[in-house]
Structure formats: structure tokens, C-alpha cells
Amino acid sequence: MCPCSVVYSIKFLLRAESPRDYTDLLLSWKHIPNVCIYDFARGLATHANLRNPENVLFTPHEGRLLEPTADNIRLAKEGHVKVDLPWLKEKKQLPDTGGHPLTGSSEHYVLYDKFHEDNTKDASDVLRRIELVPQLAGWVNSQAAEQLFSDMKKNNYFLNVMTPSAHIILMRNILHHYNTSVNKRFEKMYRTLTMDITLNMNGQAVMGSPENLCGEHCERRTKASLLRPCRETWTLPGHPLQEELIDYILDDSKPAEELIIKDGHTCLTRDNMQTLGQQREMDSMVCAGLGQ
């Protein structure tokens, strides 16, 4: 489940539940979440990392928020340490290699849910608590999954007498209607605030009017590989975010090496883009990159 209580994937168990099953789910995803919450976090981190030693899943610190030193453990127990993960709220300006497309970070942590964080004898597990991360504390409700499980148990009287194939089909159907209900509830709440809801390029529902959002309709007209020497390309109408984007690109206070355009083998940094200048001159390198 995501923090909004939408179910992303499920697995039907033939054996008792274990970290193996959670790892199966994670490895089936195209992009693994930067933060996973599980009732046996230490076991999940150990199993996942041993299962794929050539490409360790949970790093750094084996999925802990800090290095498990005596000082860090003591400070965490006393509540005197916080681990700031700003990319959970705003994507990194310089994404890590292999980073998540929404956060830009390649770090992966596994934390305990609130119900099970005290059910451990390993002192270093205190470094896996949600409350240590300001961006998560008070925002992530780990009870949402337990509440869903409680509601789903009401269906056991008829699901348990079905054949495996019918059970799977009906369970997926039930969860589909559950997800639809969750989405409609949020949509209704936003509508009461007179906010428009649209999908961004990543398929996320965001607040704001469509004309103020960039998506496929903008990509088709601005992606470097799609540019053509024709009137339609070079006489684009004004875009609501155009001025803001230009100001951001030409901001001298930001890193010159920040990647601004990447399309196939074409890569242009802020330093390259700033050669455009204010008088509409165009540097030959930028010209070559856009025309490649």
C-alpha cells in the first residue's frame, strides 16, 4: 500500500508469510520504493540483501537510517537525533544514478511499522523507526494496512470455500473496488476545496488546473527528439510555466553542472543552456544537441 491507502500489489501465499514474500513483491516492481515499512524490517533487509548480493537492495546501512554505532543508537533511543530525507518531498536536483524517478534518490530503507517497532531484541533496530524521519513522522499511518486486513477478514466466509483461481480473481476485484473508493473519497474532498485534479506525466493525481501542468501534451511539442524544422515547432504558443522554467534554467545561483535536458544521447547542463543568453543567441553546442 502507498501512504494514501491504495493497494499497489498483492501476493497469494501457499506457505506461511515471511520476508521472502515481501521481497518477491518488491522485485516484481519496476521501481522499488525508497522507504518500505514492514513488521519484521530487519529480517526483510537481511533476506533481500542476501538474495541479491550482486545488487544489494537495501542500502546504506542495510536499510537503517543511520550507521549502527553505539552513539547513534543511544541518541535515537533518547530521541535526540533526526534523519532528514528532503527528497521525499521534493525530487533531488541532481538525481542519483539509478535513482527513483519521483525522488531522484537511490537510497532504500526498511522501517518498522508502529505496532511492531518494540518487538525486537536487536538494539540497532531503533534506527529503523518512522519517527526519526521528519518527512514521515505524523504523516505515514501504518495502521491503514491493519485496518484493511480487518475489513478483508469479513470476506473469508465465502473466499475460503472457492477454488484458487476464483479466489484470486474475486480478491483482485474486491481490491479494485476498494482502490476506486479510496480515489473517489480523495477526489470528493479536493472538489469541495474547488481544486481541479489532473494526472501528471507519472500518472499521479495532482491538484491544479490542466493548463498549469506539464504532461504528454507538452512533451509532444517540446521533447528534443520530436522537434522538427516546421512552423508548428517554432511558433509554439506561450506556456503558463515557460517563464518560470526559463528563470530556473538561467539562475546563476544553481549548480552549473545540473542536467537540464536528457533525450537519448543528448545531454545539456545549465552551463550549456546559459549560452543562449538574453538576446536569443544560440550556442553551436546547444544547436547541435537539439538537432541531433
pLDDT tens-digit map of 64-73: 999 999 999 9
Specify whether 205 is located in the same domain as 222. no
pLDDT of residue 235: 54
230 and 281 belong to one structural domain: yes
At which of 109, 127, 151 does a domain end? 151
Domain co-membership, 113 together with 39: yes
C-alpha cell belonging to residue 93 = 536536483
Distance between CA atoms of 227 and 242, rounded to whole angstroms? 17
Work out the average pLDDT over 227-246.
59
Return d(Cα 215, Cα 188) in angstroms, integer: 23
Q: Is the pLDDT of residue 257 over 80?
A: no
Quote the CA–CA distance of 13 and 115 in Å, as a whole number: 23
122 in the same domain as 97: yes
Residue 8 falls within a domain, yes or no?
A: no
Asked whether residue 90 is assigned to any structural domain, the reply reads yes
Task: Provide the domain limits for residue 173.
Answer: 162-209
Residue 10 lies in a domain: no
How far apart are alpha carbons 201 and 218 in whole angstroms?
A: 10
Residues 69 and 135 in one domain: yes
Name the β-bridge partners of 207: 197
| 167 in the same domain as 137 | no
Is the CA virtual torsion 143, 116, 87, 8 positive or negative? negative
243: confidence class by pLDDT, cuts 50, 70, 90:
low
Residues 45 and 143 in one domain: yes
Residues 228 and 185 reside in one and the same domain: no
Indicate the pTM of the whole model: 0.67
- Extract the C-alpha cell encoding 176: 479494485
In the three-class reduction of DSSP (H, G, I as helix; E, B as strand; rest coil), residue 140 is classed as coil
204/220 same-domain check = no
How many other β-carbons are positioned within 10 Å of the β-carbon of residue 292?
A: 11
Q: Are residues 203 and 267 in the same domain?
A: no
Residue 11 lies in a domain: no
* pLDDT reading at 90 higher than 90: no
Residue 13 lies in a domain: no
C-alpha to C-alpha distance for 191 and 9, rounded to whole angstroms: 28
Is residue 105 packed enough to be buried (19+ CB in 10 Å), middle (13-18) or exposed (0-12)? buried
pLDDT of residue 186: 78
Answer yes or no: is pLDDT of 239 > 90: no
Co-location of 82 and 131 in the same domain: yes
235/286 same-domain check:
yes
Q: What phi-psi label fits residue 177: left (phi over 0), alpha (psi between -120 and 50 degrees) or beta?
A: alpha
Q: How far apart are CA 284 and CA 113, in angstroms?
A: 55
Cα 176 from Cα 178, distance rounded (Å) = 5
Considering its fold, how many domains does the chain have in total?
3
Is 3 contained in some domain? Answer: no
